[in-house]
């Protein structure tokens, strides 16, 4: 079964920091899509992230997916808040309508949006989910995961858990070993 993910700005930037965008494909995502609102955020952003985003578009690693009128209506029905941008909201709305996953690392936006949009369990993922899944499937090792966590921390994305400890716990629970 192929999976599709609607990815927002912060998740793309975090994947840029760790240089692991390829993990999405390795983990079975047949397509990574985004919206015009995410593109607008990159157009207004820093040159390094702007260039990274448009390089992903050019290489067809990410596709822009058009919003439908019903998506815009659903977005308009959610009260405007600084807690969630149109970029995050558009990814959630399109993921819900199409039965895809939404990917964000912004917990505040995620919590706010999910007050108004009902998403099924497991429909919203974050970089932590991707990293732990990649680790549990042996696509990442202990040293890589530690290095990734350090890099993210240096770029102000603090993960409260120790990824290697949590990944090891999950491996033990599922009984997967090399």
Dump pLDDT digits (tens) for 84-97: 999 999 999 999 99
Q: Which fold has domain 3-126?
A: Rossmann fold (3.40.50)
pTM: 0.92
Q: What are 161's two structure tokens?
A: 């858990």
- Per residue in 137-151, pLDDT tens? 999 999 999 999 999
Sequence-separated contacts (24+) of 167-171 with Cβ below 8 Å: 167/131, 167/132, 167/135, 167/136, 170/132, 170/135, 170/136, 171/135, 171/136
* Extents of the domains making up the chain: 3-126, 128-173
- On whether the CB atoms of residues 40 and 13 are closer than 8 A, the answer is no
pLDDT digits (tens, 9 = 90+) for 16-48: 999 999 999 999 999 999 999 999 999 999 999
> Could you tell me what percent of the chain has a pLDDT over 90?
89
Is residue 45 within 8 Å of residue 75, measured between CB atoms? no
What pLDDT, on the 0 to 100 scale, is given for residue 172? Answer: 87
pLDDT of residue 178: 56
């Amino acid at each position: 079964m192929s999976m599709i993910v609607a990815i927002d700005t912060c998740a793309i930037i975090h994947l840029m920091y760790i240089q692991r965008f390829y993990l999405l494909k390795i983990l079975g995502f047949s397509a990574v899509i985004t919206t015009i609102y995410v593109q607008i955020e990159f157009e207004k952003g820093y040159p390094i992230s702007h260039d990274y985003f448009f390089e992903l578009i050019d290489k067809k690693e990410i596709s822009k997916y058009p919003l439908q009128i019903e998506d815009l209506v659903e977005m308009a029905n959610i009260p405007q808040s600084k807690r969630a941008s149109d970029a995050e909201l558009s990814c959630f709305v399109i993921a819900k309508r199409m039965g895809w996953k939404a990917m964000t690392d912004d917990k505040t936006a995620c919590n706010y949006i999910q007050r108004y949009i009902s998403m099924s369990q497991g429909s919203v993922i974050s970089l932590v989910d991707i990293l732990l899944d990649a680790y549990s499937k042996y696509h990442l090792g202990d040293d890589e995961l530690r290095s990734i966590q350090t890099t993210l921390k240096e770029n102000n994305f603090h993960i409260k858990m120790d990824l290697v400890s949590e990944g090891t716990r999950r491996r033990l629970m599922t009984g997967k070993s090399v």
